[in-house]
Amino acid sequence: MNPPILSQSPAADARLQAPPAGLDPQAPRRHRFEVRYRNEQGALLRLLNAISRRGLDFESVRAEADADAGRLTAIVGANPKHIAQICRDWRVMVDVIEVLQPIDLDREPEQAPRTI
Amino acid sequence: MPKGAELVWRSVREQGVDTVFGYPGGAVIPLYDALEGSGVRHILTRHEQGAVFAAEGWARATGRAGVAIATSGPGATNLITGIADARMDSTPLVCITGQVRSNLIGTDAFQETDIFGMTLPITKWSRLVRGVEEIPEVMRRAFEIAQSGRPGPVLVDIPVDCLKAVAGELPPPPSPKTNAAAKAAAKSAAFPGVALSALLREAKRPLALVGAGVKLAGAVAPLRALLDRLQLPAGMTVHGLGAIAPEAGYNLGMVGMHGTRAANTALHETDLLLVFGARLDDRVTGDPARFAPAARIVHFEIDSSQLDRVRPAHLSIPGDLADTLPLCLEAIGRKPLPDWSEWRELACGPERAEMAASALSVPALQLLDELYALLPEDSYIVADVGQHQMWAAQRYRSANPRGFITSGGLGSMGFALPAAIGVQLARPNSKVVCIAGDGGIQMNIQELATIKRCSLPIKLLLVDNKYLGMVRQWQQLFYDRNYAETDLSDNPDFLALARAYGIDGERLQLDPGGPQGLPKNRGEMLRRMLDDPKPRLLLFECAPEANVFPMVPSGAALSEMLLQEQAKS
Ligand SMILES: Cc1ncc(C[n+]2csc(CCOP(=O)(O)OP(=O)(O)O)c2C)c(N)n1
């Protein structure tokens, strides 16, 4: 369990996903998700399941692990509600170390990931 | 050197668990072989679903992890509903399953099933043990994870050869870890006291909503102290029942689909909603888009994935409620608060405090009131799923915070009878009343044999309306009375069935001429049931088309609840 954090702001997730002006804010958009996790039994599948249980398709998935941790990168078309739900689910998983801010590839293909 | 099976029992004992529930089979015979002398009492249920629900009942009564054991294959898959149930209702649960021999895994061996994979989405954590030496550490982590943070189910799948193997050199136990670091972090981080006080001072119609999280955190006392200080109207989710002192003038009762008129109306009107340990599921919010439409939300919650899920909170306060509630009280301090007495009187006042008077004439409600009045404070009500469950929740008035136990999140019919077994074993000196419907009771009726064998004095109030009542109610109200496949008019003779299991009982029939439609001697019947030192059935033959009101139709706003008269017209 991640240590509790006290915050005063509404979900960062909701704010992060504001689309460019003129686009339907609820429409699914290609996002790159990235998460670091303890590479223990079942951890990767739990992470992937948080995406697939929402009926979303994977465009690509890459997982690699070194001695310290595993890193999952997945490209998925998802709407803001799904993105927020997936990140929230991930953050409370026992084996998750860090969830990076998903990158909207339709908008900012080169943006570097940031921790949320 | 101990065998793997002995290490399992030793770990269970070390966790302070003296009672487990299970059902044997090939892959767990070594575990059962090592049971004698382990110091653990094993309760043989008559179905693995019975075992897992009983373990949940034990956990819900004690606050510690319940343990359920099953063999590989069908034994393991029979646990799945209970695991999902524990996940939804935040119940600490350790499931131990046997697995085929390590060298057969992956060969579709007899009774091999990938229970580890099947339960990944519904467990907090799980392990397939790969060697006997792993057992102590895996078991220790299993209990720690099941019971920490937001509690939940974990699964330990142990190949039979690991149970039989003799352990070599065991790794030294890790130095005891406490979650002191996490707690200190919570405390040292600035509690948003100023922001919270400002919101409270601006509020004209503040309201508190209390969920199970308060009980799970053992934070009922600080909650009650806070509510006494704030004196604002307060409602509870079905799992929050018992957290607010029943006699408190600000107690609105249950919120949600079958919540009280007062609670749901106040939720619709509030301008500041303080949510304490509730995840705001759709049975509580009604249409989420129209939930508490005028309110800013302050959400206290240990599971940060639940924050901002339904609507962004104005102020999110993640963390253990045992820490954050006292901090909240401290932040509010002694300075005078706004005068909310007018709002409180309106919200809790007589014209809203009850359902429509005609709803009270439902004999089941009257009978429940009379039953509850006879029960000592430390009693437990274990309700199944359906109309009887909602009636039981609506009338529940006890101050025992753990006293109302039901399957809320998953709504699993068949939960109550086995769960009552777990509760009674955990609380042998308390009265435990299982309230079930004629549909749900038949889902785990075989557990009457467990009750009999263990001589558990469980009281079973069976509400027999000869229908799958809650579904029939929806069919009546929303599907033009098309009662498709909900008729149970050919129910078995439940009294004879109970007698076949060695359990006595009697029938309570409606009496249209009697007070509230009940026979005059129902008090004696209730007392006979409660005073019997043995298990006993009271078969209440309820009106087939009695309904639960108020009711918020699925997808409607809380303000659109149906009262009885409206629905009839
Ligand atoms: C395992 C399971 N199957 C189906 C349902 C759907 N369901 C919810 S309430 C209900 C009817 C329950 O009937 P009964 O036990 O007789 O109780 P009543 O509503 O009549 O009080 C059903 C079928 C469920 N909740 N759980």
Structure tokens at B109: 């061996």
- Binding site membership of B517 for ligand 1 (Cβ less than 6 Å): no
As given in the structure block, the two tokens for residue B449 are: 């044999």
Whether B256 is in the pocket of ligand 1, judged by its Cβ within 6 Å, is no
B315 bridge partner residues? B298
Q: Which residue of A has its CA nearest to B315?
A: A8
pLDDT digits (tens, 9 = 90+) for A33-89: 999 999 999 999 999 999 999 999 999 999 999 988 999 999 999 999 999 999 999
Mutate to test the interface with A, among B118, B143, B148, B308 (most CBs of A within 10 A): B308
Cα-to-chain-centroid distance, residue B289: 26
Q: Give the pLDDT confidence score for residue A1 in this predicted structure.
A: 33
Q: Flag whether residue B300 sits within 8 Å of chain A, measured between CB atoms.
A: no
Residue B468 CB less than 6 A away from ligand 1: yes
For ligand 1, what atom is nearest to the CA of residue B389?
21
Confidence band (pLDDT; 50, 70, 90) for A106? confident
Sequence-distant (≥ 6) Cβ neighbours of residue B336 within 8 angstroms: none
Domains along chain B? Answer: 4-164 (3.40.50.970), 180-352 (3.40.50.1220), 359-548 (3.40.50.970)
Residue A41 near residue B115, CB atoms below 8 Å: no
Q: Which atom of ligand 1 is nearest to the CA of B488?
A: 16
Q: How far is CA B499 from CA A2, B224, B528, in A?
A: 52, 44, 16
Q: Tell me the three state secondary structure of residue B113.
A: coil
Residues B70, B25: contact at Cβ < 8 Å? Answer: yes
Ligand 1 contact, B529 CB (< 6 A): no
**Complex confidence, ipTM:** 0.88
Report the C-alpha gap between A28 and B453 in whole angstroms: 57
Best CA proximity match to B86, nearest among B418, B511, B456, B425: B418
d(C-alpha A73, C-alpha A36), whole Å: 9
Q: Which of B385, B415, B540 to mutate to test the pocket of ligand 1 (most atoms within 8 A of CB)?
A: B385
Give, as one character, the DSSP assignment of residue B71: -
Nearest Cα residue to B145 out of B99, B103, B232, B86: B86
Reply yes or no on domain A28-104 having CATH 3.30.70.260: yes
The rounded distance, in Å, linking the Cα atoms of B146 and B65 is 7
Mean pLDDT for back-to-back runs of 10 residues, chain B (569 residues)? 96 96 98 98 98 98 97 98 98 98 96 98 98 97 97 98 92 63 55 94 97 96 97 97 95 95 95 96 93 96 87 92 95 92 93 63 91 97 98 94 97 98 98 98 98 98 98 96 98 98 98 91 98 98 94 93 65
Query: In this model, does residue A13 exceed pLDDT 60?
Result: no
* Helix axis angle, B180-188 to B321-332, nearest 10°: 20
Whole-angstrom distance, CA of residue A61 vs CA of residue A46 = 14
A6 contact residues in B (CB cutoff 8 A)? 186, 189-192, 317-319
H/E stretch holding B346: helix B341-348
Ligand 1 centre distance from Cα of residue B557 (Å): 24
